[in-house]
Amino acid sequence: MKELNRVQSIDRAVAILECFNEEKKELRLTEISEKLGLNKSTVHGIITTLKHHGFISQDEETQKYKLGIRFIEFGALVTNSLNIRNAALPVIDEVCCKIEETVHVAALDGSDIVWIEKQECTKSIKTSTKIGAKLPAYITADGKIILCYLEKNKIRNYLPKKIPKFTSNSITGRVQLIKKLEEARENGYLIDNEEYIEGIKCVAAPIFDHEGNVKFSLSTTGPAFRMTDEKIEELIVIIKNAANEISRRIGYKE
């Protein structure tokens, strides 16, 4: 049966990347072209694009191509994600049972936040995000609590020139948003008070890795009518403690 929705150029890009292995770490354009049975001009165009994005590099002296360092970034993300998921699962299971709200673990992927693990509550009205789903980091509590641990001059790179207004509570000024991030870093948690989705509140805390960097976050999300001020105060303590526990499990020493 014919496979649908395949993109030929991406298939070819993957085929080019798969030409490299332990025995053939460096290849010339002609070698790749002959191996795949593709025109040199076609291969060169795809390689040029992969090179632009850091997935391919070229030795200026030999003109041979090899895999780029961009793969190290993705390899580290995958490895860390697997480790963080194993460490987080028993913790978020316990937290979810205790607070009866959905709990998420998220990671920073470029300028986006991606959800890598979750535990859903059993209530009929619940909020949740699909594992693997992405959003710009500045939009979500998960993303913002990670961003606030970056250097101030780097935070601006993650913010658009014009921040969209999603709800009446959205913070659309860059100065005001950066100020909120600074306060979140000082407090060790961040509250999303219906800033992205009306009727939804969220509490997030940072997860530190073994080097003391914040690349992950822990959060709980729920409908505003259940997320009262009193409950949020309780959630802040629970989520911070749980995030600290996950941090310790992945090697963080305060």
Provide DSSP, 102-163.
EEEEEEEETTEEEEEEEE---SSS-----TT-EEEGGGSHHHHHHHTTS-HHHHGGGS-SS-
**pLDDT of res. 206:** 97
**pLDDT of res. 250:** 87
Contact 209, 250 (CB under 8 A): yes
With a cut of 70, list the residues of the chain below it in pLDDT: 1-4, 79, 82, 124-128
- Write out pLDDT tens, residues 56-111: 999 989 999 999 988 887 877 776 776 888 899 999 999 998 999 999 999 998 88
Residue 118 CA from chain centroid, whole number: 14
For each of the domains in the chain, give its residue range(s) and CATH number, in order of start: 8-68 (1.10.10.10), 73-249 (3.30.450.40)
